[in-house]
A and B are shown apart, each in its own frame.
Chain A
């Protein structure tokens, strides 16, 4: 199964990460799309982002939201098409927007 997570807030980063790691422990695929304050959240907590990447979660940030932000290597700067893909290809979506 594939879990899609959309993160667009700072406050929900811990929940997003907790669910993503739980899904990986259960051997589910995890794809995460970051936009708006969700991109700021991972820029401010690269340790959390790196742990997600190390756990084989796929992270894509909206490049429009990511302008001027340093993001850990491994986070793809993508577009809203990636957002559409996360919603369209995941078995369940958790939108933390």
Chain B
């Protein structure tokens, strides 16, 4: 399994938590890609990034390089208001249908939506209908 943790925040605490989560999800053998919107902002974050790399996981800054290959994606953004990001499309996108869930005041990274993907805005969404779409998609990304 390939997991992407995208720390899309300049808040030092949130970034540290994202990196702690990234370390955590390696514990059952998953491969992890981490994308940081900024350099590690705390010693804890730096240490986590170094540890991940020492164990062969990737820590980088190009979302487009790794988004398509992830089976599970955690986007760690600012809690209240999203930040615009870009995601240059990689060549040879896999045939995988992604459901993009968009929280209030957040946006999907530009370039992240591929042909055939589905985008749902969470504000006011019917959870029963949403659930059906979650299980018919191949993966879910919440922005």
Interface residues of A, Cβ cutoff 8 Å to B: 1, 3, 6, 8-12, 15, 18-19, 21-23, 25-26, 28, 35-37, 64, 79-81, 83-85, 87-88, 91-97
Contacts and interface: CB of A to CB of B under 8 A. Distances in A.
Interface of B: 1, 3, 14, 17-18, 20-21, 23-30, 72-77, 79-80, 101, 103-104, 122, 127-128, 130-131, 134-135, 137, 139-142
Given A3-B134, A95-B72, A95-B74, A87 B17 contact: no
Majority secondary structure, B binding face: mixed
Nearest to B101: A94
Majority secondary structure, A binding face: mixed
Contact of A11 (B28, B79, B135): B79
Contacts of B130: 19, 22
B20 A22 contact: no
A25 B142 CA distance: 22
A91 B134 CA distance: 10
14 contacts: A3-B135, A12-B103, A19-B134, A23-B131, A25-B128, A81-B27, A81-B28, A84-B26, A84-B28, A87-B1, A94-B101, A94-B142, A96-B103, A97-B75
